[in-house]
Amino acid sequence: MDLNEINALLPFLLRRENVARYEGGEVVMCDRRQYPFEKTFFRCQDVECAARAIEDMVTQGGGPQYVALYAMAMLAGQVANRKAAQQREAFKKANLRLIKTRPTNTSMARHLENAMGVIDQALDQGQDVEAALLDWIEKIRDLSYEKHLKCGEYGASLIEDGDGILTMCFAETSLLMTLAIAKKSGKAMHVFTPETRPYLQGARLTAPSIHEIGVPVQIITDNMPAHVISQGKIQKYFTAADLITLDGHVVNKIGTFQNALAAHHHGVPYFVFTQAADKHKPNRESIEIEARNPDEIKMCRGVPTTSQEIDAYYPAFDITPPNFVAGVITQHGILSPYDLARYFG
């Protein structure tokens, strides 16, 4: 399969051009806050706008890293006429601003650090920085889609005909690839997606995307996974990860851990997709969990769920220890969570 064929297999939200693109000097992304009620695109003309789009969940999951990189390319176009030293300062400031938007997902930070290398090299060699960045971004996107395809093939190999599948939040391209490839090979599946409060990524993004590729899917609320597993309806549990430490701790959207506990209790294996473990995060202690504004817990799609004077608590991610992880699905195969340092260390 070539990269165009891969893109064609994916649902609307995950097609490369809808996740993020650079167009007419603007960074453009499908607005995931409105989906699936409206298919609208959000456009940014400066770095601050892109940073806020990430913070405000206009884009999420795999989107922010490309939005952030395109924002750097956009900035390169905007500062091209300044002196090199001034340009470097602008890039450095933008880089720090963008990294700050997501303290937990360090993959974006890694890409942004690498972008600084591309920028430095282009400046040193007197090249067009904007063009150099855009060229490099397309290359890493190609590479990423190739890894997704590998993950999809490994993921599909784990699915047996008739499997019930649990997921959480929006596991994006790797999960959708997995389901598309398994379906193509004639396997029947049924997916349960917890709605994933407070932003409802499961209900709004995952379920419509799975439905779009023709796989049966049902939404449940976040208090239901253990019961559905106990009814024998689930044979595999798959999620993505915002971060995996070198010693196999999986950081993902809050709820992933309690589902993994329930799966483990009922003998259902939990598999997690990733493009890489984070070599700068050796263990649980090195993880920083993003605490978001508690007011977001007290709303659902803009409607209040309780009285204004009531307090709330909003940790955005949780940590699943490696003993609950049956396999980490990467381009290198289905790895033990205890063997990641050998590949990514």
Q: What is the CA radius of gyration of the chain?
A: 20
Token couple for 99:
């990294």
Scanning the structure block, which residue is given the tokens 């029947």?
188
Nearer to its own copies, 78 or 258 (CB): 258
Stretch that binds its own copies, among 44-52, 80-88, 95-103, 219-227 (CB under 8 A): 219-227
The span of 57-65, 143-151, 217-225, 240-248 binding its own copies (CB under 8 A) equals 217-225
Q: Which position among 120, 161, 242, 295 bears the catalytic label?
A: 242
Would you give the end-to-end CA distance of the chain in angstroms? 30
When asked if residue 322 is in the footprint of its own copies (CB under 8 A), the reply is no
Give the pairing of strands 163-166 and 243-244: unpaired
Q: Does 196 bind its own copies (CB under 8 A)?
A: yes
Q: Which of 54, 134, 171, 228 binds its own copies (CB under 8 A)?
A: 228
* Phi, psi angles (nearest 5°) of residue 250: -100, 120
Indicate which single residue of 49, 131, 140, 300 sits in contact with its own copies (rule: CB under 8 A): 300
Q: Which stretch binds its own copies (CB under 8 A): 17-25, 57-65, 159-167, 295-303?
A: 295-303
Q: Which of 292, 285, 250, 264 is nearest to 103 (CA)?
A: 292
Does 293 sit near its own copies (CB under 8 A)?
A: no
Q: Is 221 in the site for its own copies (CB under 8 A)?
A: yes
For position 164 contacting its own copies by CB under 8 A, the verdict is no
| Helices 84-99, 106-124: inter-axial angle, 10-degree rounding | 170
Q: Active site includes 242? A: yes
Q: Residue 235 has what DSSP assignment?
A: S
Count of residues engaged in binding its own copies, rule: CB under 8 A: 58
**Half-sphere exposure (Cβ direction) of 1: Cα atoms closer than 13 Å:** 20
The reply on whether position 120 binds its own copies by CB under 8 A is no
Region of residue 11 (phi > 0: left; psi between -120 and 50: alpha; otherwise: beta):
beta
Among 116, 226, 334, 341, which residue interacts with its own copies (rule: CB under 8 A)?
A: 226
Taking CB under 8 A as the rule, does residue 140 contact its own copies?
no
Angstrom distance (rounded) from CA 204 to CA 207: 7
Query: Which amino acid is present at 220?
Result: I
- Runs of H (alpha helix) within 125-280: 129-158, 172-184, 201, 207-212, 225-230, 256-265
Contact flag: residue 39 with its own copies (CB under 8 A): no
**Is 116 one of the binding residues for its own copies (CB under 8 A)?**
no
Q: Should residue 306 be labelled a site residue for its own copies when binding is judged by CB under 8 A?
A: yes
Secondary structure class of 185 (helix, strand, coil) = coil
**Considering beta carbons, is residue 94 or 168 the nearer one to its own copies?**
168
- Residue at 179: amino acid letter: L
Q: Which is nearer to its own copies, 33 or 148 (CB)?
A: 33
Q: Pick from 72, 79, 219, 241: which binds its own copies (CB under 8 A)?
A: 219
Residue type, 193: T
DSSP 289: P
Active site members: 242
Query: Which residue ranges make up the site for its own copies (CB under 8 A)?
Result: 36-37, 168, 192, 194-198, 200, 203-204, 207-208, 211, 216-228, 230-231, 253-255, 257-258, 261-262, 265, 294, 297-298, 300-307, 309-315, 318-319
